[in-house]
Chains A and B, each alone.
Chain A
Amino acid sequence: MTAAGPGRVYDALVVGVGTAGLVTALRLAKQGADVLVTAKGVGATHLTSGTVDVLGYTPERVVNPAAALPDFVRDHPEHPYARAGLQAVGDALDWIKLQLPDGALVGSLEANFLLPTAVGVPKPSALAPETMAPGDLRNGGRFTIVGLAGLKDFYPAYLADNLSRARLGQEDNGRVEARAVTISPPTGGVADVTPMGWARRFEDTEFRKTVIAELEPSLDGGAVGFPAVLGLDSARTVWQELNDALGVPVFEIPTLPPSVPGNRMARALRAALTRAGGRVVMGGRVIGVRGAGERLEEVVVDAAARPKTYRARDYVLATGGFASRGLEMDSYGMVREAAFDLPVTGMPPNAEARWADEYLAAHPAARVGIGVDDELRPLDSGHGVVYENVRVAGAALAGAEPWREKSGEGISLATGLRAAELILERRGG
């Protein structure tokens, strides 16, 4: 691997190693572009559930995202989906499925699954890992929720209690019947095992045998839901073996971060990027940029030993929102974008107007972010393009409340892929 010499100019420099950044870099690298990803942290993909949520609520529950999106972007013209275009959303879903082993991610933009959350709410997701899809509640059914004594991040009785009363809507058939079982497989005398710790244990054949033996007598023919800890690198094998041995559909239910399925996704994308020849440099914060007119010329990163300057033809900012410190707000209420110091839009000037009184309401300040044009280029307050060779992707974008809309992965995938396509189009043209 060669270090970036002083004269080297990358085709693209991506800042941020979350879903949006990885997707952009992977798409570019696969087309033969010379791509460097630089990141301060590890990204937020490992916090996600492993599902691809595109649009879950508008605020009514969305049955068919493809059908709901045109109205949604018409009503929300500043939303990242409106900026990226609806074609990008569909393309992104098709594309991400192809990046993972065949069948690992299932579903489509035409129909949301309803998958149980760890509190037993049926949550709409467009795509789901194969290990979660059998938990789909749309047709009702019987479910046994399995808890693990020693896993504090999963409460099967509470989950089953809510699941049995889940409102599935008129378009859904059947009832959900759910019950809880807690098993105590051996943990080696440790009372507090993390989800990742359980995932490692599930990769062990002998451990799985004890799980199967303990669980079998309490099954009633219904599908079996486990917390999403069924292996990290060999989840497919673990899941298939449990399906075969228990003789009923087995599925995973995501719970608190750090999430095992989120980690699987992050690792899969990183591995694919490495295979495609992309390079990732971790632990470096962007501490300065140099622009010339409408172009960004170079980026200075605070590397381990000394500041390092990188140059590229195109840049992608995928540093995330407030949660990832891509955006920062100080105690005076001033918001800034942390890496390129791009203009930030959407902040209500009056402090009292930023956040609603009700926690679960829509909050004006939640939509703060970078405003972009149709080519995902950052805009200033006069709607002029700040840098014509910079694209913004993911949670740094203004105009969305991903956790409310259930659109986080969809936004990162669609804008990430779209940013890459725009760069490729310009190179080709």
Chain B
Amino acid sequence: MVEAEVLVIGGGATGAGVARDAAMRGFSTVLVDRDDLAMGTTGRFHGLLHSGGRYAVKDPPSAAECMEENRALRRIAADAIEDTGGLFVSTPWDDPAYPDLFHSGCIEAGIPVEILSTAEILRREPRLNPRISGGFAVPDGAIDAWKTVWGCALSAKEYGATILNYHRITAVHRSDGVVTGATAVNAISGEEVAISAGFVVNASGVWAGDVANLAGCEGVTVLPGKGIMIAMSHRLVHTVVNRCKKPADGDILVPIRTVSVIGTTDTEADGPDDVAIPQDEIQLLLEEGEKLVPGFRRARALRVWAGSRPLVKDDKADDADTREMSRAFALIDHKERDGVEHFLTITGGKFTTFRKMAEVTVDRMCEHLGTARSCTTAEEALPDSGHHRFYWLGARLARREETLNDDQLICECELISRRRLESAMEQRHTQNLDDIRRTLRLAMGPCQGGFCIYRATGILHSVERLDYSAANSALLRFLQERWKGVRPILYGDQLRQARLDDWIFQGLLDVEHLT
């Protein structure tokens, strides 16, 4: 039995943000997620810290909100942010009337915008298409979703919260129209956990309708708008590059950590768990990438994934075109909507505004509970960001050079040392190498674990004292998960890499005959 004042369901950015906010306001808080934290939509976006430029023309209030939250996240989550800056550039395929609208939209929304000549843009980003005709600089950035979410979770923990990842909610308890808690099942052990809570926040994103149903609040419809993204090896650009046009498929390239992510597409998903990757969407992204960076098709694609934006159903928009629906978030007060007390659903929105969404949610909760406690999440930095220094690309190399002779390099692509890996394993206390992947970016580089995953398995076997079958499962499961993300983009040098990896895992290690 777990007792808390607040139960937050869903460990994406929104849920982790709500848990942190509630804990900082002095509520005893439990955060649960059916998987690891940030494995749904949050961990499946391109990593853009919005300046708001993408909404400057169509939705100025959203744009202004993005800019405000962009500033807040820079204050509190510096370690997760790379201050890349952003460009909006006009290619020959883009509407020549749009730049003027864009410029005035930015000014209206309060987004700092600078007009740049073609020469200046090409000076900053020499790989961009020389046929672009001018553009703008805005304060976009790159933000690491996993670092941010875990930062929020650890901050919440410091304020006394409990984090229950890998716990699936199977029932939401109600008594006389008041929500009183939930039942969760540990996804690894199968053990059932009863959670008693005075207030429940449903922050389960594209799954929000399912969780609301568990509380007897029918009809909350969240349309999953699916988009695919491809991580390209290396930094094709060092600045976020957007096409200066009405937002569309494949119009943004985000340099994040050691890769560049091109995004995205937009189709109505076949349910919240649909992460299938259609070949035609890959071809579409490659075509669009080629327009921004000539030679894009010959660059190396490392991995592809799909994520779904939670779009709350709105009768005013056409269901078939989810991109036209509002990206602003929805806070559903179930007392007003369903007469169910102490239960809120917060969904929609975008990563950049998660902190604001959390603040609004916890404000509303305080109203319901008849208490006034002010929010401090926009000022207090996350645990690893107290130094207020932005992440920079050379950070890991600098750290590596300090320990060159006294620590082993386990993941050469992402510069992860053995001590760092062992300490992450001890902290995460997991049998799942994918959890470590997200924590450290283990195996996210060009070889996609070809070399480091054998090593990581051997190390995990020893750190977690696994028996042979648990260690073998960790290895095989990792290889299968990896396959999902590389299978659709096997061509060029990445196919070459995949063949080498096949040779290592099957030809040399014979992993397919592990027992």
Interface residues of A (CB under 8 A from B): 44, 47-49, 53, 56-57, 61, 117-123, 150, 152-155, 157-158, 161-162, 164-167, 189-192, 254-257, 259, 321-325, 328-333, 351-352, 354-355, 357-360, 365-366, 402-404, 406, 408
Q: Which of A118, A167, A254 contacts B515 (CB 8 A)?
A: A167
Chain B, residues 472-486, CB within 8 Å of chain A (1/0): the string is 100110011011000
Beta-carbon contact of A161 and B461 below 8 Å:
yes
Once A121-B513, A155-B461, A331-B297 are accepted as A-B contacts, the answer to whether A403 and B405 lie under 8 Å apart by CB is no
Contact residues in B for A329 (Cβ distance below 8 Å): 490-492, 495
Query: Of B27-35, B94-102, B183-191, B502-510, which stretch is located at the interface?
Result: B502-510
Contact residues in B for A122 (Cβ distance below 8 Å): 513
Beta-carbon contact of B454 and A118 below 8 Å:
yes
Once A167-B515, A190-B405, A406-B507 are accepted as A-B contacts, the answer to whether A158 and B502 lie under 8 Å apart by CB is no
Once A155-B455, A155-B457, A323-B496 are accepted as A-B contacts, the answer to whether A121 and B491 lie under 8 Å apart by CB is no
Q: Complex: how many Å from CA A104 to CA B509?
A: 23
Q: Complex: how many Å from CA A357 to CA B485?
A: 11
Beta-carbon contact of B509 and A355 below 8 Å:
no
Beta-carbon contact of B468 and A254 below 8 Å:
no
Contact residues in A for B458 (Cβ distance below 8 Å): 154-155, 157-158
Beta-carbon contact of A165 and B408 below 8 Å:
no
Q: Which of B418, B507, B514 contacts A403 (CB 8 A)?
A: B507
Beta-carbon contact of A162 and B408 below 8 Å:
no
Beta-carbon contact of B490 and A355 below 8 Å:
yes
Once A119-B514, A121-B509, A331-B297 are accepted as A-B contacts, the answer to whether A158 and B468 lie under 8 Å apart by CB is yes
Interface of A is mostly: loop
Q: Does B427 contact A (CB under 8 A)?
A: no
Beta-carbon contact of A49 and B462 below 8 Å:
no
11 extra interface residue pairs, beta carbon distance < 8 Å, beyond A121-B513, A166-B515, A359-B480: A118-B454, A121-B514, A152-B410, A162-B468, A162-B515, A190-B405, A331-B297, A354-B490, A355-B490, A359-B479, A360-B511
Contact residues in B for A352 (Cβ distance below 8 Å): 279
Taking CB atoms and an 8 Å cut-off, the chain B residues in 372-423 that contact chain A are 405-410, 418
Beta-carbon contact of B509 and A117 below 8 Å:
yes
Contact residues in A for B479 (Cβ distance below 8 Å): 359-360
Q: Does B23 contact A (CB under 8 A)?
A: no
Tell me the smallest distance from the CB of A135 to a CB of chain B, in Å.
14
Tell me the smallest distance from the CB of B303 to a CB of chain A, in Å.
14
Q: Complex: how many Å from CA A166 to CA B515?
A: 8
Q: Does B471 contact A (CB under 8 A)?
A: yes
Beta-carbon contact of B514 and A191 below 8 Å:
no
Q: Which of B462, B487, B504 contacts A257 (CB 8 A)?
A: B504
Q: Which of B301, B461, B500 contacts A323 (CB 8 A)?
A: B500
Beta-carbon contact of B405 and A321 below 8 Å:
no
Contact residues in B for A255 (Cβ distance below 8 Å): 508
Q: Which of A61, A191, A355, A360 contacts B408 (CB 8 A)?
A: A191
Q: Complex: how many Å from CA A201 to CA B491?
A: 40
Taking CB atoms and an 8 Å cut-off, the chain B residues in 62-121 that contact chain A are none
Once A117-B510, A257-B508 are accepted as A-B contacts, the answer to whether A351 and B472 lie under 8 Å apart by CB is no
Beta-carbon contact of B495 and A47 below 8 Å:
no
Interface residues of B (CB under 8 A from A): 279, 283, 286, 297-298, 301, 405-410, 418, 451, 454-455, 457-459, 461-462, 467-468, 471-472, 475-476, 479-480, 482-483, 487, 490-492, 495-496, 498-500, 502-515
Q: Which of B405, B475, B500, B502 contacts A189 (CB 8 A)?
A: B405
Beta-carbon contact of A155 and B495 below 8 Å:
no
Beta-carbon contact of A157 and B461 below 8 Å:
yes
Tell me the smallest distance from the CB of B494 to a CB of chain A, in Å.
10
Beta-carbon contact of A325 and B509 below 8 Å:
no
Q: Which of A323, A330, A358, A403 has the most CB of B within 10 A?
A: A403
Beta-carbon contact of A321 and B461 below 8 Å:
no
Tell me the smallest distance from the CB of B230 to a CB of chain A, in Å.
11
28 contacts across the A-B interface (CB closer than 8 A): A47-B503, A48-B507, A49-B508, A119-B475, A119-B509, A119-B510, A123-B510, A152-B410, A154-B458, A155-B454, A155-B462, A158-B471, A161-B467, A162-B514, A165-B468, A189-B406, A254-B508, A256-B454, A256-B504, A322-B499, A329-B495, A330-B298, A330-B492, A331-B491, A359-B480, A360-B476, A360-B512, A403-B502
Tell me the smallest distance from the CB of A410 to a CB of chain B, in Å.
12
Closest to A356 in B: B487
Contact residues in B for A44 (Cβ distance below 8 Å): 503
Closest to A334 in B: B491
Q: Complex: how many Å from CA A119 to CA B512?
A: 11
Q: Which of A153, A254, A259 has the most CB of B within 10 A?
A: A153
Beta-carbon contact of A152 and B408 below 8 Å:
yes
Contact residues in A for B500 (Cβ distance below 8 Å): 47, 323
Q: Complex: how many Å from CA A141 to CA B328?
A: 67
Contact residues in B for A165 (Cβ distance below 8 Å): 468, 515
Beta-carbon contact of B507 and A402 below 8 Å:
yes
Beta-carbon contact of B502 and A192 below 8 Å:
no
Q: Which of B455, B467, B499 contacts A321 (CB 8 A)?
A: B499
Beta-carbon contact of B482 and A359 below 8 Å:
yes
Beta-carbon contact of B457 and A158 below 8 Å:
yes
Once A158-B462, A161-B471, A162-B468 are accepted as A-B contacts, the answer to whether A331 and B492 lie under 8 Å apart by CB is yes
Beta-carbon contact of B408 and A158 below 8 Å:
no
Closest to A152 in B: B408
For the complex of A and B, list the 6 residue pairs with the smallest distance between their C-beta atoms, beginning with the closest. A155-B458, A359-B483, A323-B499, A403-B507, A403-B506, A161-B468
Closest to B455 in A: A152
Q: Complex: how many Å from CA A101 to CA B279?
A: 52
Q: Complex: how many Å from CA A331 to CA B489?
A: 8
Contact residues in A for B298 (Cβ distance below 8 Å): 330-331
Contact residues in A for B499 (Cβ distance below 8 Å): 321-323
Contact residues in B for A403 (Cβ distance below 8 Å): 502-503, 505-507
Q: Which of A122, A254, A322, A351 has the most CB of B within 10 A?
A: A322
Contact residues in A for B502 (Cβ distance below 8 Å): 366, 403
Closest to A257 in B: B504
Q: Which of A158, A331, A352, A408 has the most CB of B within 10 A?
A: A331
